[in-house]
Amino acid sequence: MIPWAAPAAQYRAHKNAIDAAIARVLDSGAYVLGSEVESFERAFADYCGVPYAVGIGSGTDALILGLRSLDVGPGDEVITVSHTALATVAAIIATGAMPVLVDIDAATYTMDPARIEQAVGPRAKAIVAVHLYGGPVDLGTLDTIAKRHRLRLIEDCAQAAGARYRDRRVGSIGDIACFSFYPTKNLGAIGDGGMVTTRDAALALRVRRLHQYGWNEDRETDDVGVNSRLDSLQAAILAAKLPYLETDNARRATIAARYAEGLRGLPIAIPTTRGQDTHVYHLYVIACDERDALMQHLNHHGIGCGIHYPVPVHLQKGYAERVRVAKGGLKVTEHLAPRIISLPIYPELGDTEVEKVIAAIRDFYRA
């Protein structure tokens, strides 16, 4: 079986470096915060091109604390998309704010900037821009809109570590940015983990306090915080893998290019991005009218695939009554959801396996 993701293969690819990092932490006796976390924070900040990075317990918590650091809370509205991982919207709700959902661009599947103006109301406080599947949002346009309406811009970079908007890495452009290190991510831990990055010293300090009860340097509180710390073991593992991220992302791009070539001419929509941007293909998502039949065909031929995401957030029980759909509706989102499939893509996927996936899809359309 060819899985759609293979975190164990990623471990095996970097086994020596990861095992050495784990042994170093275990021998140190320092398992929470400390030098391993500080070292990885510096390395990741440098990688993203920002002065500040704060390790967090998960990507969801990174979003929650990032929003809270910008004083987003009850009575506020935050504009984002319905076609995203549930965590994006769950984090907004966790702050007490109301998610206002706008439609996506039909080509890139990321937030459509043309929809933002219709969503801005008197309570609007921020925009959460999701770099979905590893492809950057149109940050330049969103930043212009945010500044015009005095909104804060948060980048949800959970799926896009290493991606570039024009000549800058994602995570370095918004007021604040949030990353996930879930095991299947391009830079994945062996467990949960997250990061907040920013160019603003005051925001970085506030996140650092919020992620540990609200403590200041004297362990006194100026604000109510939580316990959401990136632990030393995960930080060491991530630091061991970070030097390979560019090579791994390049391999993902090579696989994506082969898929694009091999699937040419079929009634399938393949991933696209703006010409000046760099997609890192956390997921390779195609769209077609025969989604369910194609998935059954692929599974029959030993090829795993996924759906990211099968039900838009605004149609999910438990969330539908806690969000507001912006004027103009979500027609592209609702049209896309029943048509998408995530094909296998990860750096360790071999050329022979890629060709098997392509051959199986072409065989489906010949039948």
Q: Which CATH number fits domain 7-243: 3.20.20.140, 3.40.1390.10, 3.40.50.300, 3.40.640.10?
A: 3.40.640.10
pLDDT the model gives residue 117: 94
DSSP character string of 222-244: SS---B-B-BHHHHHHHHHHGGG
Compute the distance between CA of residue 9 and CA of residue 12 in angstroms, rounded to an integer: 5
Neighbour-count burial for 30-60, b at 16+ CB within 10 Å, e otherwise: eeebeebbeebbebbbebbbbebbbbbbbbb
The count of other CB atoms within 10 Å of the CB of residue 266 is 16
Number of C-alpha atoms within 13 angstroms, CB side, residue 253? 15
- pTM for the model stands at 0.97
Q: Which of 124, 149, 129, 230 is nearest to 187 (CA)?
A: 230
Tell me whether the omega of the peptide bond preceding residue 281 falls within 30 degrees of 0, making it cis: no
Coil, helix or strand for 347?
Answer: coil
User: Hey, what CATH topology would domain 244-366 get?
Assistant: Aspartate Aminotransferase, domain 1 (3.90.1150)
Per-residue pLDDT of the chain (367 residues; tens, 9 = 90+): 999 999 999 999 999 999 999 999 999 998 898 999 999 999 999 999 999 999 999 999 999 999 999 999 999 999 999 999 999 999 999 999 999 999 999 999 999 999 999 999 999 999 999 999 999 999 999 999 999 999 999 999 999 999 999 999 999 999 999 999 999 999 999 999 999 999 999 999 999 999 999 888 888 888 899 999 999 999 999 999 999 999 999 999 999 999 999 999 999 999 998 889 999 999 999 999 999 999 999 999 999 999 999 999 999 999 999 999 999 999 999 999 999 999 999 999 999 999 999 999 999 999 7
Q: How far is CA 270 from the centre of its chain?
A: 19
CB of 286 within 8 A of CB of 267?
A: no
Joined tokens for residue 234: 């995960």
Closest alpha carbon to 313 in 133, 93, 126, 59: 93
Confidence (pLDDT) at 222: 84
Name the residue ranges covered by the structural domains of the chain.
Answer: 7-243, 244-366
What integer pLDDT is reported at residue 146 of this predicted model?
98
Return the pLDDT at 275: 87
